[in-house]
Amino acid sequence: MNESCKETRELLPELALGILGGEERARALDHLTSCTDCSSELAALSRAADGLLTLAPQHEPPAGFEDRVLARLRRELPQHRARRFMTFAAAAALIAIVAGGVVWVGTAHDRRLGSYYQRILAIQHGTELAAARLETTDRLPGGEAFTYQGRPSWLFVVVTAPVGDGVYDIVGTVHGAAVRLGVIHIAHGRGDWGGTTSTEMKSVDEIRVVTRTGQLVLHGTVQHN
């Protein structure tokens, strides 16, 4: 542990509690970007600080609370839905394109399909639509992933595989590094997830679905242009 570590360790308890400010906070964060030992220490302290909140007395909310929260969610729903709908509408268009992709490659002279592809891309300033077939570790078919490079870029993953019910991470490989792209809930061997991402989808070489502990469940290579 060097001097910089020692100085940072003094600040970590306050940082974990979210009460460190200004210059001290900036100094600690600067050190943490390059020190894995201090980052682990911060994670341990944060677990304690956040865990404390679960000890707070529980209290029944006033009558009608549940209805008021649901009413509020419903009021916000159109906006929320609209964002999701855009993603899924674009995904549906993409799936149509990928399904037609084999024909498109096979009959390159088919300009009509080419211009259709261009028009679809233009909807979200896109430069590429790509897909990956997902396989289980036993090389059985496990679903598909569709990627879109545009503004915004997005990813849509469909899983149909005999894997256990639960929540899994969707991870992309970008130049050999793993980037977490989303979370998928799989039940009865089926699940789907779609969302926008700031990750450059044209740089994602592989899509993987992994358990919370990082164990590989499904993977597929992204077929770029």
Partner 1 sequence: MMWSVSDEALLAGLASGESDAAVAFIRRFQRRVYGLAMTILNDSAAAEDVAQETLARAWRHAGAYDPRRGPVATWLLTIARNLAIDALRLRRADPVDPSALVSLQGMSAEAGPEERAVVGDDAHRLHEALRALPEDQRRALVLAAFYGQTAREIGESENIPLGTAKTRIRAAMIKLRGSLQMEDDEREL
Q: How far apart are CA 84 and CA 91, in angstroms?
A: 11
Q: Given the rule CB under 8 A, which of 7-15, 124-132, 198-206, 215-223 is the region that contacts partner 1?
A: 7-15
Return all residues near 93 (Cβ < 8 A) that are at least 6 apart: 120, 123
Q: How far apart are CA 150 and CA 120, in angstroms?
A: 11
25-39: burial string, b at 16+ Cβ within 10 Å, e else? eeebeebbeebeebe
Q: Read off the tokens for 173.
A: 């490989």
The helix/strand/coil state of 174 is strand
User: What region does 93 belong to: left with phi over 0, alpha with psi -120 to 50, or beta?
Assistant: alpha
Q: How far is the CB of 166 from partner 1 (least distance, A)?
A: 7
Residues 196-215 that bind partner 1 (CB under 8 A): 212
Binding residues for partner 1, total number by CB under 8 A: 51
Q: How far is the CB of 101 from partner 1 (least distance, A)?
A: 27
Q: How far apart are CA 217 and CA 128, in angstroms?
A: 27
Residues 158-177 that bind partner 1 (CB under 8 A): 165-167
**C-beta of 126 vs 182, nearer to partner 1:** 182
Per-residue binding string, partner 1, 104-143, x by CB under 8 A, is: ----------------------------------------
Residues 36-95 that bind partner 1 (CB under 8 A): 44-62, 65-66, 68-70, 72-73, 76-77, 80-81, 84
**C-beta of 66 vs 138, nearer to partner 1:** 66
**C-beta of 88 vs 116, nearer to partner 1:** 88
What is the DSSP code (8-state) at residue 142? E
**C-beta of 162 vs 166, nearer to partner 1:** 166
Return all residues near 160 (Cβ < 8 A) that are at least 6 apart: 141, 142, 143, 189, 190
List 4, 14, 117, 206, residue binding partner 1 (CB under 8 A): 14
Could you list the residues that contact partner 1 (CB under 8 A)?
A: 10, 13-14, 16-21, 44-62, 65-66, 68-70, 72-73, 76-77, 80-81, 84, 165-167, 180, 182-185, 187, 195, 212
